[in-house]
Structure 1
């Protein structure tokens, strides 16, 4: 298993800097580029690529990311997929072209195919379609009749987390999540929240005051858990929409004198590289992000080599990683 020292050596920073970056220390004065190097080093060390012979045919692949560097660092879920995706393309000998928002179709004539990673609105999807190239979407499936896609079963993944908490005897369970907003001001609610609410309602355990929604970052996690802990009847466990939010929950508990998991159990989502270094290590849902990147490359290669007309959607399974942040009710 990778250590903080291993990460520090690759990122060319101190061990202390790695520790503070992975724990989203807001007082740390380093550039976004340094933070990115640390997160990428952590992902590279956890990424185990299979040894396969390179394909004979090489392609020029366009990569279209819907998010900014700041958003990637706030929630390293996409960073982990991107690292695996780009590494796989390099291993296969393909050339990478970063598609920018202002690129016109005529500039992309030499590209063989496109991989899109992130959250895309209708206008983005139609723009990608106008390039008239084979396309694979990762983490979304906007049109199964036109595009290949690699997705996660968020319904099943959310139920895994909730079933584990129920097995531990928790009946007062909170949720902290976020909402996506596009450039036109439209809001898109988290599917994990929908599943959380419907599943607990089916068990007779849903409580609206235990739902807190903000941004997908440590700061909002910190503020929202404080709100939950102000309730007269506090939740005994909280499920969060990503591990980055959970970092903020840890800070709030530390400041308020609550102990994890003795006073409150926490389950995250994504299994980012920092999760294993949190104190206590975070129980979370692993999304196999490196495999998502690999499958996307394989789908696009197959589409280009076989000239396949039928679109495929691959659902990548998840796994509950049990560590030390959740225990049974006292």
Structure 2
């Protein structure tokens, strides 16, 4: 027997109305990311499909594959990429795609007859080439492959970072540190630099205020943020910057914990401004100021680019860069 909304609601412990609105990607619904993900997970496990009752008229759907560079378990720890994927799935559903998910960019699991691919994350030239052999309807999200000839959907890191630096500058704070990350593509072929750090260095250098000793590099996890802030406190002592720009919310949460453990008050002594603005930013105390990235719109835009290629036969690549919004909260007030 096919799973129902009632089955999912009972398993998750929410109302049927909540399940229905989540599965229909109702963005006006106020529900936590964890609950939202549990609903999708249970729906997947129960093999729920709201289209099963409409199976009387067979429809040949085009196949859209989402290739994630994260594993499924790691994605659940990084709501940034989860939100992008949800945006893709929502828009893909609206355009009647048959959507499949490939985690940890295991392209060996891709169907040879896939019509289009949206690749989310960072990819090496060889990984890009492997996907391009399957389809020319290929869009990258959060990875600039425009010069390689592929559609790319990105966030304007440069402007957003400039706005953060200007925000502190307006508060009279010119000693600003940064905690950022570095990663490798999953085939270990390419090191991926943090574009936020590149933009931060440029913004501070322009103001003749960049100080290399105030920059600490980790790996984007909360544990790394904690360790990097501990290192900053130990090595800089009384010269600890009055503000830090931190590359993502998990690292910022870890940094906040390290400051609190050292009895350094936030924001009175040190202010923190994070990036991505996932729900984690408001789960900690004090709540984190963070740059809000239009993650779901990034995913939806990637689908729109696929649709445009399919409908028009466009072969010229497009590069779409979305803006971001500064959300000032208690960690900088």
- Fold match by TM threshold 0.5: yes
| Cα distance, 1:238 vs structure 2 | 0.4
| Cα distance, 1:90 vs structure 2 | 2.1
Indicate conservation of the 8 Å contact 1:218/1:246, yes or no.
Answer: yes
Q: Deviations over 1:120-164 (max 9, x none)?
A: 011111101111331111111213463211111111111111111
What's the counterpart of residue 300 of structure 2?
A: 294
What's the counterpart of residue 98 of structure 1?
A: 101
Indicate conservation of the 8 Å contact 1:240/1:268, yes or no.
Answer: yes
Indicate conservation of the 8 Å contact 1:65/1:118, yes or no.
Answer: yes
TM-score w.r.t. structure 1 length? 0.79
| Cα distance, 1:93 vs structure 2 | 2.3
TM-score w.r.t. structure 2 length? 0.78
What's the counterpart of residue 148 of structure 1?
A: 151
- Distance, in Å, in 1 between the alignment partners of 2:117 and 2:112 is 10
- Distance, in Å, in 1 between the alignment partners of 2:93 and 2:281 is 27
Q: Deviations over 1:18-37 (max 9, x none)?
A: xxxxxxxxxxxxxxxxx985
Alignment of 1:187 onto 2:191: yes
| Cα distance, 1:252 vs structure 2 | 1.0
In the TM superposition, structure 1's runs of 4+ consecutive aligned residues that sit over 4 Å from their partners are 35-39
What's the counterpart of residue 129 of structure 1?
A: 132
Q: 1:11 to 1:253 in 2, by over 3 A?
A: farther
Indicate conservation of the 8 Å contact 1:271/1:284, yes or no.
Answer: yes
Higher relative contact order (CA 8 A, sep 6+): 1
| Cα distance, 1:102 vs structure 2 | 4.8
| Cα distance, 1:215 vs structure 2 | 0.8
Identify the match of residue 254 of structure 1 among 251, 260, 276.
260
Q: 1:274 to 1:258 in 2, by over 3 A?
A: same
Alignment of 1:112 onto 2:112: no
Identify the match of residue 318 of structure 1 among 320, 324, 330.
324
Question: What are the within-5 Å matches in structure 2 for residues 14-33 of structure 1?
Answer: none
Indicate conservation of the 8 Å contact 1:11/1:37, yes or no.
Answer: no
> How many pairs align?
286
| Cα distance, 1:81 vs structure 2 | 0.7
- Distance, in Å, in 2 between the alignment partners of 1:302 and 1:189 is 31
Q: 1:157 to 1:254 in 2, by over 3 A?
A: same
Give the secondary structure class of the aligned counterpart of 2:330: coil
Q: Show structure 2 runs of 5+ residues with no match.
A: 1-8, 15-31, 41-58
Q: 1:77 to 1:65 in 2, by over 3 A?
A: same
- Distance, in Å, in 2 between the alignment partners of 1:313 and 1:227 is 38
Identify the match of residue 243 of structure 1 among 244, 249, 274.
249
Q: Show structure 1 runs of 5+ residues with no match.
A: 1-8, 15-34, 44-55
